[in-house]
Amino acid sequence: MKTERILVTGGTGYIGSHTVVELQQAGYPVVIIDNLSNSDRAVLDGIERITGIRPDFVEGDCTDIDVLRALFAKYTDIKGIINFAASKAVGESMQKPILYYRNNLNTLMNLLELMGPNDVKGIVFSSSCTVYGEPDVNPVTEKSPIKKATSPYGNTKQISEEIITDVINAGAPFKSVILRYFNPVGAHPSAEIGELPNGVPQNLIPYLTQTAIGIRKELSVFGDDYNTPDGSCIRDYIDVVDLAKAHVIAVERMLMDRSDEKIEIFNLGTGRGVSVLELINAFERSTGVTVPHKIVGRRAGDIEKVWADPTYANNVLGWVASTPLDDTMRSAWAWQCRLRERGIM
């Protein structure tokens, strides 16, 4: 067991829980803080079933700095932070902008404020390919232009990157790795943890698997008149376990002082653009399950095509998204079936 504890905010959420598993398997003691606003305490059981270790858990809200102060007072061995605690629904952020700015920005500022006094060496921040908007050229590299955000959610990611940069440039005694995720999908291959959307899913894969199992009648494909080979939108779907592994490498890089840079930014994607129709096909091919679907009009605010150039992360982090798409589709399906077995969905 390593001695440096990692604080994982939002650690019972989708990407957070998969990252906790990878951290524990790499030997790191973990403490999770989560307000359970979009996740369930039972996720801790799933993590424990995979790793044999129950992570320490604090139920609390990172927007309350006193909650975080108490946490740091109790866990004096925290050396790294991975910050997942944030609201993440694009549509909801249009309706409730203050909630998004408050949750996402106050959480980050509280953490940054407490890192120095508590001798924390680095913070990994969850950013998004949404910062590139509709790119002029694909694939996008980390040097591709940042476009004006089209939602408060996207804006919180851009502002957060700027806050981290300003704080570090002002001489903060810690480092940061900013990870720009493309579209995280799939579940742990054990089917013990996965994505657990609240209500009607807004994202493609949970909607697709819920349709495949019969909870939803039909998947709507939002548009087939885009300027893409089959007319549907193109994204870079990255397996959540591959994504989780990148966080372990990133936090370790700061703890071990492997880079001279105080702030680094990496795209995390596969480098492969996949259309909505291709994804449905991949799901049907790899699971043998049919997904009833129909083409409907475009969804407001959707980007036509975006996929990553992950070369920089491949070379510098020695990380590559290696899970074949078909395996990811099977893990997403196995998770949906597990939820059904457990009577959850």
List the catalytic residues: 153
Q: What secondary structure letter does DSSP report for 12?
A: T
Least distance to ligand UD1, CB of residue 85, Å: 15
**How many residues contact ligand UD1, by CB under 6 A?**
22
- Which residue's C-beta sits nearest to ligand UD1? 233
CB closer to ligand UD1, 67 vs 89 = 89
Distance CA 226, CA 86 (A): 31
Does residue 88 belong to the site contacting ligand UD1 (CB under 6 A)?
yes
Does residue 235 belong to the site contacting ligand UD1 (CB under 6 A)?
yes
Residues 301-330 binding ligand UD1 (CB under 6 A) are 302-303, 306
Contact with ligand UD1 (CB under 6 A): which of 19, 24, 39, 130?
130
CB closer to ligand UD1, 21 vs 86 = 86
Distance CA 93, CA 163 (A): 20
Residues 141-180 binding ligand UD1 (CB under 6 A) are none
CB closer to ligand UD1, 129 vs 317 = 129
Least distance to ligand UD1, CB of residue 89, Å: 6
Q: What is the largest CA-CA distance in the chain?
A: 56
Contact with ligand UD1 (CB under 6 A): which of 85, 221, 329, 339?
221
Contact with ligand UD1 (CB under 6 A): which of 220, 259, 281, 314?
220
For residues 125 and 164, the answer to whether their CB atoms sit within 8 Å is yes
Residues 34-73 binding ligand UD1 (CB under 6 A) are none
For the chain, first and last CA: distance in Å?
A: 37
β-strand 175-181 against 263-268: which pairing, if any? parallel
For residues 13 and 126, the answer to whether their CB atoms sit within 8 Å is no
Contact with ligand UD1 (CB under 6 A): which of 129, 212, 250, 268?
129
Distance CA 278, CA 151 (A): 27
CB closer to ligand UD1, 202 vs 314 = 202
CB closer to ligand UD1, 24 vs 151 = 151
CB closer to ligand UD1, 65 vs 282 = 282
Distance CA 340, CA 293 (A): 21
- Which amino acid, residue 256? M
- Applying CB under 6 A, which part among 110-118, 264-272, 296-304, 320-328 lies near ligand UD1? 296-304
Distance CA 45, CA 344 (A): 15
Residue 185 is encoded by which pair of tokens?
């999908």
Residue 262 is encoded by which pair of tokens?
């105080």
Does residue 204 belong to the site contacting ligand UD1 (CB under 6 A)?
yes
β-strand 234-235 against 274-275: which pairing, if any? antiparallel
Does residue 207 belong to the site contacting ligand UD1 (CB under 6 A)?
yes
Distance CA 307, CA 39 (A): 28
Q: What is the dihedral of CA 195, 196, 199, 201, to 10 degrees?
A: 10
- Which amino acid, residue 18? H
262 to 291: interface string for ligand UD1, x by CB under 6 A: --------------x---------------
- Which amino acid, residue 230? D
* Residues contributing to the site for ligand UD1 (CB under 6 A): 88-90, 128-130, 183, 202-204, 207, 219-222, 233, 235, 276, 299, 302-303, 306
